[in-house]
Every structure is written in C-alpha cells, then in structure tokens.
Structure 1
C-alpha cells in the first residue's frame, strides 16, 4: 500500500491502521477543528503526578505500557505551547506504536482493517 519508509518494526502496519481509522473518522465526522483544551495549572500538576507514579511503578518492577502511555498523555494534555504539544502528541503516538508492536509480537496480529 505504501512504500517502505519506516525503519522500526511494526510501524508500517501501525501507520496503515491509523490511516484506515482516519479514513473512517473523516467519512463519519468530516474535517474537524476544536480548541486544544490543554495547558492549565491543574493539568500540569496531573502530569507531574503521572510522571512520579510511572517512575515509581518501574522502580518497583511493576511498570506497564499503561503507565507509560498515561504519563505521555498527561504530559501532552499539560502542554499549552502548540509546538511542544505536537511533540508530546507524537510521543504518545510512538508509545502506542511500541505497545501495538509488543502486542503483535506475542499474539496473532489482528486481520487488516
């Protein structure tokens, strides 16, 4: 479907799944524009707490993908600067790609969408 542009395992399949989902979203909702709704003081405090909790879980040997993703999402939601928000959202997507690759490496991959 796409030329091989990706160097990390599973990223091509992940990108194709995202593209298929975006196609469904655009068909259902059309192009959407909403305020970011990010970056207030409370959201920054929650990001700090998520970071501390994630570090504590890994230090105790109980860290999970959910901990990592939750921390990254909280960091994105805490960001008010659009450039840094974009960077954080890319980090969220990268964690999702890593998690999906991990799932696919230990189970039968789902059929193509």
Structure 2
C-alpha cells in the first residue's frame, strides 16, 4: 500500500492503521481546529506526579506501559510551547507504537 519508508519492526502496520483511523476521523468530523488547552499550573503539577510514579515503578521493577504513556500524556498536557507540545505528542505516538508492537508480539 505504501512505499517502504519504515525500518522499525511493526511500524509500517502501525502507520497504516493510524492512517486509516485518521481518515475515518476526517470523514466523521472534518478538519478540526481547537485551542491546545495545555500548560496550566495544575497540568504541570500532574506531569510531575506522573514522572514520579513512573520513576517509582521503574525502581520497584513494576514498570508498565500505563506508567510510560501516562507520563508522556501528562508532559504533553503541561506544555505551553507549541514546538515542545508537538515533540511531546510525537513521543506519545512513539510510545503507542511500542505498546501496540508489544501487544502484537504476545502469544495468543
């Protein structure tokens, strides 16, 4: 369907599914424009708490995808600079790709 652009295992399939879902969203809702709604003091506090939970889970050997994704989402919500917000959103997408890859490699 797409030219070979991806070298990371599983990323091509993830990108194709993401593209299909994005197409469904565009068809259903159109091209949406909304304010970011990020960067508040309470969001910054929540990001710090998520980082701490992730750190504790890692120290205890109890790291789960939930911890990683929560930290990345909270960091994005805490960001007010558009370039930094974009970078955080890319990190969220990458964590989602890694989590999906992990799910796909698990035994049925």
Band of TM-score, shorter chain = over 0.9
Cα distance in 1 for residues equivalent to 2:103 and 2:56: 24
Aligned length: 108
**Aligned-pair Cα RMSD in Å:** 0.8
Q: Map 1:22-101; keep pairs closer than 5 Å.
A: 22-101=22-101
Q: Deviations over 1:21-58 (max 9, x none)?
A: 01110110001000000001110110000000001011
Deviation for aligned residue 1:107: 4.1
Cα distance in 1 for residues equivalent to 2:105 and 2:3: 23
User: Scaled by the length of structure 1, what TM-score is found?
Assistant: 0.93
SS at match of 1:28: helix
Runs of 4+ aligned structure 1 residues displaced above 3 Å come to: none
Unpaired segments ≥5 residues, structure 2: none
User: Scaled by the length of structure 2, what TM-score is found?
Assistant: 0.97
Unpaired segments ≥5 residues, structure 1: 109-113
